[in-house]
Amino acid sequence: MKRIYGIIGNPLAQSMSGRYFNAKFANEGIDAEHLNFELQDIGDLMELIAEEPHLSGLNVTIPYKQLVIPYLTALDAEASEVGAVNVISFERDDSGNLRLIGHNTDAVGFRRSITPLLTPERNKALILGTGGASKAVAATFRTLGVDYTFVSRTPEAGMLGYPDLTPEVMDEYKVIVNTTPLGMFPDVESAPDIPYSLLTPQHLCFDLVYNPEMTSFLLKSKAAGAEVKNGKEMFLLQAEATWHVWNESN
Half-sphere exposure of 16 toward its Cβ, with a 13 Å CA cutoff?
18
H-helix or E-strand containing 228?
A: strand 227-229
Distance CA 79, CA 114 (A): 19
> Is 69:102 a contact under the CB 8 Å cutoff?
yes
Instruction: Report CA dihedral (109, 211, 170, 157) to the nearest 10 degrees.
Output: -70
Which among 200, 209, 206 is positioned nearest to 172, based on CA atoms?
200
- Catalytic choice (2, 65, 135, 222): 65
H-helix or E-strand containing 57?
A: strand 55-60
Beta strands in the chain (DSSP E): 3-9, 32-38, 55-60, 74-75, 87-92, 98-103, 124-128, 147-152, 160-161, 175-178, 204-207, 227-229
> Does the active-site annotation cover 65?
yes
Q: Would you call 219 helix, strand, or coil by DSSP?
A: helix
Contacts of 1 (CB under 8 A, 6+ apart): 31, 54
Which of the residues are catalytic?
A: 65
